[in-house]
């Protein structure tokens, strides 16, 4: 993925300088003009240059003579997913993202990305990975490679493909290796911060102390899951359901090879011939409103399942999102071996 700064050019630059940058961008040839403070001023394409030259403007003139001064953009804090979808379906391929001060903080390219979701993503990566020893004796489980890259990087890259650019990684066991691998996230055009657990806090307890989440929606996922989940559809389903928390669930069918009788006081009231029952198991991926974090106790061992039980008990709405795609929890050696084969065939 291209560094978003390749699309930026400073005010006062010459049209000639802009042409060099546009040529390097090739099929992604659009520049966003920023002032010295990084604020969006305008946009510039090959067409703008051509029209300027036809008007007699010289190639050594400054770009302000030919830029579009009111470009479309995405405001990071708004989180209007329908606006994002409208831009994408309207064939606006490349758009700048600005913060509350109108500074350019990212550039979205819908040729490479599927969406721009208004969420913070928390990846739980602090576990010891006991069942995968000796592989995890000197390497944290999230950094074990599936194919050509670590498990956790598959998760991050898929979230990045849906426009997530604010990440928090909860680490404990060999966490310094994970931080050394991703650093601040700038190589992937994202911001990455780390939540260090001084003691085990369960599958969601580590986020209780965090006060700097930027969005109103928080996604929490285990780091050892391999999935091709459509995160935009998950988000839209969550918003439509008006739930407080949504959990990805994995359909599991049980085929009974006999007729099943339903009885009341030993009286047979009905029966089903060789029925199939569908159950839903926890997929380890959660989307919640930020206010829900207040219900997680601080500095205590607390699992996501504890949170769901608490929400249900207190009358909050918990929503199930049945996954229709690929999902694998890499917990045991046989799962790890299966993932190595699946990654060759599953379209992510």
- Domain span at residue 189? 119-342
Do 47 and 132 have their domain in common? no
| d(C-alpha 92, C-alpha 113), whole Å | 12
Do 296 and 170 have their domain in common? yes
Q: What mean pLDDT comes out for the span 193-199? A: 89
CA distances from 264 to 139, 258, 272, 326 (A): 56, 19, 15, 40
The token pair at 157 is: 């890259």
- Higher-confidence residue of 92 and 217: namely 217
pLDDT at 144: 93
Measured torsion, CA atoms of residues 267, 270, 273, 276, in degrees rounded to the nearest 10? -110
Q: Is the pLDDT of residue 130 over 80?
A: yes
Q: What is the CATH number of the domain that holds 206?
A: 3.90.550.10
Question: Among 85, 109, 133, where does a domain finish?
Answer: 109
User: pLDDT above 90 covers what percent of the chain?
Assistant: 62
Task: Answer yes or no: are the C-beta atoms of 40 and 71 closer than 8 Å.
Answer: yes
Do 169 and 254 have their domain in common? yes
- Asked, for residue 86, whether it belongs to a domain, the answer is no
Judge if the upstream peptide bond of residue 124 is cis by omega within 30 degrees of 0. no
Count of CA atoms in the C-beta half-sphere (13 A) of 228:
10
- Asked, for residue 72, whether it belongs to a domain, the answer is yes
Q: Give the β-pairing of 145-146 and 119-125.
A: unpaired
Q: Is the pLDDT of residue 77 over 80?
A: no
Give this prediction's pTM. 0.87
Chain-wide mean pLDDT for the chain?
90
- Asked, for residue 89, whether it belongs to a domain, the answer is no
pLDDT at 287: 97
139: left (phi over 0), alpha (psi -120 to 50) or beta: beta
Do 103 and 127 have their domain in common? no
Cα torsion 156, 159, 163, 164: sign:
negative
State the DSSP H helix or E strand holding residue 125, giving kind and residue range, or none if neither: strand 119-125
Task: Answer yes or no: are the C-beta atoms of 6 and 24 closer than 8 Å.
Answer: yes
User: pLDDT above 70 covers what percent of the chain?
Assistant: 99
Do 183 and 260 have their domain in common? yes
Do 73 and 126 have their domain in common? no
| d(C-alpha 342, C-alpha 331), whole Å | 15
- Asked, for residue 61, whether it belongs to a domain, the answer is yes
pLDDT at 209: 75
Spatial neighbors of 86 by CB under 8 A, at least 6 apart, are none
271: helix, coil or strand? Answer: strand
Do 285 and 215 have their domain in common? yes
Burial of 182 per CB tally in 10 Å (0-12, 13-18, 19+): buried
Q: Is the pLDDT of residue 267 over 80?
A: no
Q: What is the CATH number of the domain that holds 14?
A: 3.10.580.10
The token pair at 107 is: 């550039």
Do 171 and 308 have their domain in common? yes
Q: Give the β-pairing of 104-109 and 94-98.
A: antiparallel
Domains in the chain: how many in total?
2
pLDDT for 20-69, tens place per residue?
Answer: 999 999 889 999 999 999 999 999 999 999 999 999 998 899 999 999 99
Residue among 193, 183, 213 nearest 119 (CA): 213
The token pair at 347 is: 């379209």
- Asked, for residue 88, whether it belongs to a domain, the answer is no
Do 276 and 328 have their domain in common? yes
Do 137 and 70 have their domain in common? no
Q: What is the rounded radius of gyration, in angstroms, for the C-alpha atoms of the chain? A: 24
pLDDT for 137-189, tens place per residue?
Answer: 889 999 999 998 999 999 999 999 999 999 999 998 888 999 999 999 988 98
Q: Give the β-pairing of 245-255 and 276-289.
A: antiparallel
pLDDT at 348: 66
| d(C-alpha 16, C-alpha 270), whole Å | 82
Do 215 and 303 have their domain in common? yes
Longest C-alpha distance within the chain, in Å?
Answer: 95
Q: Is the pLDDT of residue 311 over 80?
A: yes
Spatial neighbors of 43 by CB under 8 A, at least 6 apart, are 30, 31, 32, 33, 67, 68, 71, 96
Do 175 and 255 have their domain in common? yes
Q: Is the pLDDT of residue 318 over 70?
A: yes
- The pLDDT-based confidence of 315 (bands split at 50, 70, 90) is very high
pLDDT for 220-250, tens place per residue?
Answer: 999 999 999 999 999 999 999 999 999 999 9
- Length of the chain (residues): 348
């Amino acid at each position: 993925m291209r560094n978003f700064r390749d699309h930026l050019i400073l005010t006062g630059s010459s049209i000639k300088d802009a042409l060099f940058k546009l040529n390097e961008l090739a099929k992604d040839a659009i520049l966003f003009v920023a002032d010295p403070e990084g604020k969006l001023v305008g946009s510039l394409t090959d067409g703008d240059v051509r029209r300027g030259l036809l008007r007699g403007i010289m190639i050594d003139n400054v770009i302000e003579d030919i830029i579009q001064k009111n470009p479309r953009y995405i405001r990071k804090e708004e989180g209007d997913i329908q606006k994002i979808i409208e831009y994408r379906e309207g064939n606006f391929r490349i758009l700048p993202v600005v913060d509350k001060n109108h500074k350019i903080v990212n550039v979205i390219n819908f040729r490479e990305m599927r969406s721009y979701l208004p969420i913070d993503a928390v990846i739980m990566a602090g576990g010891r990975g006991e069942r995968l020893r000796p592989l995890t004796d000197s390497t944290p489980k999230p950094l074990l490679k599936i194919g050509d890259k670590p498990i956790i990087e598959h998760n991050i890259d898929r979230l990045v493909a849906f426009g997530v650019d604010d990440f928090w990684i909860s680490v404990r066991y060999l966490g310094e290796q994970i931080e050394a691998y991703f650093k601040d996230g700038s190589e992937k055009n994202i911001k990455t911060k780390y939540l260090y657990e001084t003691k085990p806090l369960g599958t969601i307890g580590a986020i209780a102390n965090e006060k700097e989440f930027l969005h109103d929606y928080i996604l929490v996922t285990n780091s050892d899951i391999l999935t091709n989940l459509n995160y935009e559809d998950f988000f839209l389903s969550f918003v439509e359901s008006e739930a407080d928390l949504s959990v990805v669930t994995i359909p599991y069918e049980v085929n009974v090879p006999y007729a099943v009788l339903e009885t009341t006081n030993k009286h047979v009231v009905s029966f089903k011939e060789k029925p199939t029952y569908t159950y839903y198991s926890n997929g380890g991926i959660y989307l919640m409103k930020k206010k829900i974090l207040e219900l997680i106790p601080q500095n205590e061992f607390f699992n996501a399942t504890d949170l769901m039980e608490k929400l249900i008990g207190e009358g909050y709405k918990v929503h199930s999102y049945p996954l229709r795609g690929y999902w694998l929890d890499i917990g045991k050696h046989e799962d790890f071996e299966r993932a190595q084969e699946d990654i060759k065939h599953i379209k992510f």
